[in-house]
A and B are shown apart, each in its own frame.
Chain A
Amino acid sequence: MISTAFEYQRANSLDEAIKKLQETGGRGKLLAGGHSLVPLMKLRMSEPGILIDIARIPGLAGIREKDGKIEIFAATVHHDVASSALLAEKCPVVAETAGEIGDPQVRNRGTLGGSLAHSDPSADYPAVMLAVDAEIHLKGPKGWRIVKASDFFQDLFTVDLAADEIIGGVQFAAVKSAGYAKLHQRASGYAIVGVAAALDVKGGVITSARLGLTGAGSHATRMTNVEKALAGQPLSAKTIEAAAKIAGEGIKHVNADIHASEEYRRAMIPVFTKRALEKAMARS
């Protein structure tokens, strides 16, 4: 399948990319790994007139610890996140989630920033970004702007990102007691339902919890009812069992497609919530 014709440009800095985006007058799209965009272009569901390749911008890929937080730059490919020794030690759920995306070839090319900007309703990263309460750092013509993950994902393929802004990276406080559990769509690897759970635990008591759900609705969301049910409770299998039961309650719209009916997806939300919480407990 061949995409519509486009003009190809390359940017060597974020500022150059922003300037180029402005010059396209809305006809331009950014290209990094291309593993969300290129398939859409081949299906002609996306027909940008200009592609601005940002994959070669120096310093736009990498993972580091900064001021007690973890920072992942936007053009970091999933494989590098999945195999990061820093993440394995400090915040294994992020590496675990990256390792669940697609397949090895996809993980060698696809990038964190691309996945977040695209916000596929079945993408894995949005769920874990919600669970670790990540800040998404965006750069536009007026400089940097920080958006909480919980505000970033707004609707189907819709995020808080202006046409002339670029994701530079994400920052989050490391949390060890966190896990990701996912029901795979076998051919594509996308999540039919995916749940990322992070627990803050003090003296055997859950002081707070954050749960991100993907695959179920138009975009990834927090499951605040489960979070409230966990907060203040002793960390135990019983607590998890009870809290997971109410996962998905109150969600108005749940997706249905050839892979899973709405009823099936609704049934799987508590199942995978429990599994994610069990992983989180095992790491606490």
Chain B
Amino acid sequence: MAQISITVNGKVRKADVEPRLLLTHFLREQLNLTGTHLGCDTSQCGACTVLIDGRSAKSCTIFAVQADGAAVTTIEGLAKDGQLHALQTAFWEEHGLQCGYCTPGMILSAVDLLQKNPKPSEQQIREGISGNYCRCTGYQHIVNAVQRAARG
């Protein structure tokens, strides 16, 4: 077992974990943060995307021990004081989801994108979410939502 301390959504979480425990399972099963979804489990679909020290990452491809000492943000940590994040509001207003399975990962990838590039072109948005799959294929509304959030 390995001792880890990860700041998840602003709160320090300490745990003894097996080194092979994936970050996604740590979040979902030990912290009950089930907003982080597990999709393909092969580093492709992006449903498991979280922010590690501000950068988007696929939590199915990271052992929890690797995130020891880091700050992790999940979809549950985006809203502040009951106020939705601008991207959450934009996804709501633009109906940027159908089944919703990809949504947490899409939003967190979009957070990373807008941090790096606050005014992305449509093409840059499509590239920015290229590590996230929407199997409802509702990409147009997702792109619209990111554009709305970028407009502010």
Contact = CB atoms under 8 A, between A and B. Distances in A.
A108 B55 contact: yes
B131 A55 contact: no
Contact of B109 (A31, A35, A39, A105): A105
B131 A105 contact: yes
Nearest to B49: A105
A187 B22 CA distance: 22
Nearest to A103: B131
A244 to B, nearest CB: 27
Contacts of A55: 66
A5 B43 contact: no
B49 A38 contact: no
A248 to B, nearest CB: 28
A187 B44 contact: yes
A8 B2 contact: yes
B146 interface: no
How many B residues are at the interface, by size bracket? 20 to 34
Nearest to A99: B127
Contact of B61 (A35, A53, A79, A83): A35
Contacts, number: 76
A104 interface: yes
A5 B18 CA distance: 8
Contact of A1 (B41, B58, B109): B41
A106 B44 CA distance: 9
A39 B112 CA distance: 23
A108 B56 CA distance: 7
Given A8-B65, A34-B63, A34-B66, A105 B19 contact: no
B20 interface: yes
Contacts of A5: 18-20
A55 B53 CA distance: 14
A270 B113 CA distance: 35
The majority secondary structure among interface residues of chain B is: mixed
A19 to B, nearest CB: 20
A6 B57 contact: no
B128 interface: yes
Contact of A51 (B19, B55, B56, B112): B19
Interface in A1-58: 1-8, 31, 34-35, 38-39, 41-42, 51, 53, 55
A20 to B, nearest CB: 15
A103 B46 contact: yes
A41 B66 CA distance: 15
Interface string B33-67: 00000000111101001001001111001110110
Interface of A: 1-8, 31, 34-35, 38-39, 41-42, 51, 53, 55, 79, 83, 102-106, 108-109, 187-189
19 contacts: A1-B41, A34-B61, A34-B62, A34-B63, A34-B66, A35-B61, A42-B22, A42-B41, A42-B42, A83-B116, A102-B43, A104-B56, A104-B113, A104-B130, A105-B49, A105-B131, A108-B55, A108-B112, A109-B62
